[in-house]
Structure formats: C-alpha cells, structure tokens
C-alpha cells in the first residue's frame, strides 16, 4: 500500500481522466500496489503535516510519498469544526524584501462571517510573514520525516514548486531574536542545516520540471497528463534507486 499527500498537484486537478492518468496512480500501478491519498486542492503544509500523522498512526502503509505544497498557505478550524484552507486568491509579494502586498487576499468561504474573514486575511498579510511561513513549513517537514522514521514507514519527499521557496531560503541565515520582556539573540538552524535535514529541497519541483519540459498546462496552471507522466517516471526511478521496490515483494 502506498500513501500519498499534497495539494491539487497530487490530486491531479485539470487532468481529464482521473485517477487513471495522475502520477499517484501511474506509480502505484507500476508496482502493483493499492494506494490512497489525503491530498486536498488548496492544501497547505500545515494540513499535510496534520493529516499525514493522523493517517499513519491509524493506517500505516508500506511507503508514504509527499509532495509538499506552497509554504505561504495555512489552515484553520472554523466555527463548524471544519478544517479550512486559507488559500490565496490574490497573492503579491516583493521578491527582494519578501514583504506581502496589502492587496493580497485569501479566499472568502461562504460559511465564514465577514469579521472572521477579515481576521484571517489580516493575519495572513500582517502576521504570517514569509520568513515565519518558511521556517514553519520546514519544521513540519522535519517533524514528519522523524515521525515516519520512528513509525518505521519509508517515505519520499518532493516539492510542488520552487517559486516561493528559492527566493526566501537565504533568510534562514539571518540572525533571529527572541523577544519577551527584552530581546536577545538565539542560536538557530541555518540554511545548510535545513538542506542537510531535507536534501529534497535542492531538487527541482514538480511544477518547475513541467515548465522546463514545456508540457501542456491547464487554464488554472496545473500540469496535465504529460506532466503527470513525467513526475511518475521520476518517482518510479527514485523508488528503484533507493531500493524501495523491495517493500513491495
């Protein structure tokens, strides 16, 4: 059994013949494995972290494969006890300063009260800086890595895209401060520390690979069948390279 998690890129949004032509099915079929996923359109790394731990405690599998999403998304639990994705419908930021533009806006779900949406939107723009979101996502990845290892579940990690990541990685080397009654410097992990823990971050993202290969994309900017075939071939190759195919004997 193979478990998959991620966002719309794992779900195969805009692929006409789902689930047959999405990479999760192509890879699983290649190894003659049953599979399931908890990927969600607009899903955040917060959600991937939460649902992977939940599923792998209750339903452990032979192999977990995660395609991590954009690190500026997040989730919240609404008044109806429904997990909601705070998905940007308009997102602008300065790639030099990483400052998020105030014209940016998260999705207004019909069940949300206006005051609640205003709070979520202001929190996303003014409180969850790109520097915070980066460290938060990377820490989710590291904790998921060690959680899966502790559970004895082999895994493969990939990136959905390099777009919001590459321009922010250098901020990991900035000095961070702790603030309470006063402010002081603290020791912390730097860029090289994170890359050592998460070497997949140096690999090309799914979206970026498809753009480089100039395969067709849908109107909503998702790779179509050719892109999913490319990703499937990459994952199949990695499974053989890491000798994970032995899990399915």
pLDDT, averaged in runs of 10, over the chain (249 residues):
98 96 98 97 96 97 97 91 90 88 90 92 92 96 98 98 93 91 90 98 98 97 98 98 96
Residues in the chain: 249
pLDDT at residue number 92: 87
pLDDT at residue number 69: 97
pLDDT at residue number 249: 86
Distance CA 8, CA 18 (A): 12
| CATH architecture of the domain with range 2-72+131-163+192-248 | 3-Layer(aba) Sandwich (3.40)
Show the DSSP H helices in 31-171 as ranges: 45-58, 114-122, 130-151
According to DSSP, the residues that pair with 90 across neighbouring strands are 105
Q: Which residues contact 201 (CB under 8 A, 6 or more apart)?
A: 159, 165, 169, 194, 195
pLDDT at residue number 216: 97
**8 A C-beta contact, residue 146 and residue 193:** no
**8 A C-beta contact, residue 87 and residue 73:** yes
Q: Is 30 left (phi over 0), alpha (psi -120 to 50) or beta?
A: alpha
pLDDT at residue number 110: 87
Eight-class DSSP state of 72: T
How many helices and strands, by DSSP H and E, does the chain display?
8, 10
pLDDT at residue number 231: 98
Exposure class string for 60-79: b at 16+ Cβ within 10 A, else e = ebbbbbbbbbbbbbbbbeee
Distance CA 6, CA 247 (A): 22
Quick check: helix, strand or coil at residue 99?
coil
Could you tell me the CA-to-CA distances from 218 to 45, 69, 70, 190 in Å, in that order? 23, 18, 19, 37
According to DSSP, the residues that pair with 2 across neighbouring strands are 35, 63
Q: Which residues contact 151 (CB under 8 A, 6 or more apart)?
A: 56, 57, 60
Q: How far is CA 110 from the centre of its chain?
A: 25
Stated as kind and residue range, the H or E segment containing 20 is none
pLDDT at residue number 109: 87
Distance CA 168, CA 79 (A): 33
**8 A C-beta contact, residue 120 and residue 86:** yes
What is the value of pTM for the model shown? 0.95
Quick check: helix, strand or coil at residue 37?
strand
């Amino acid at each position: 059994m193979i478990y998959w998690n991620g966002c719309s890129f794992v779900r195969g949004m805009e692929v006409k013949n789902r689930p047959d032509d999405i990479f999760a099915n192509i890879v699983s079929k290649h190894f003659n494995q049953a599979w399931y996923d908890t990927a969600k359109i607009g899903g955040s790394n917060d959600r991937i972290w939460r649902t992977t731990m939940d599923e792998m405690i209750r339903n452990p599998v032979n192999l977990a494969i995660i395609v991590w999403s954009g690190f500026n998304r997040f989730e919240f639990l609404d008044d109806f006890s429904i997990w909601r994705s705070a998905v940007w419908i308009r997102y602008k930021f300065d790639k030099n300063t990483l400052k998020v533009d105030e014209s940016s806006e998260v999705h207004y779900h019909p069940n949300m009260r206006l005051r609640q949406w205003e709070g979520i939107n202001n929190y996303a723009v003014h409180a969850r800086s790109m520097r915070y979101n980066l460290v938060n996502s990377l820490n989710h990845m590291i904790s998921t890595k060690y959680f899966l290892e502790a559970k004895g579940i082999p895994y493969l990690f990939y990136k959905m895209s390099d777009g919001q990541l590459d321009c922010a990685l250098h901020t990991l080397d900035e000095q961070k401060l702790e603030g309470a009654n006063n402010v002081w410097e603290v020791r912390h992990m730097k860029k090289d520390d994170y890359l050592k823990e998460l070497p997949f971050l140096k690999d090309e993202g799914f979206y970026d690979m498809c753009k480089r290969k100039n395969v067709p994309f849908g109107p909503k900017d998702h790779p179509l069948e050719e892109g999913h075939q490319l990703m499937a071939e990459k994952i199949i190759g990695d499974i053989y390279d890491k000798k994970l195919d032995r899990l399915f004997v």
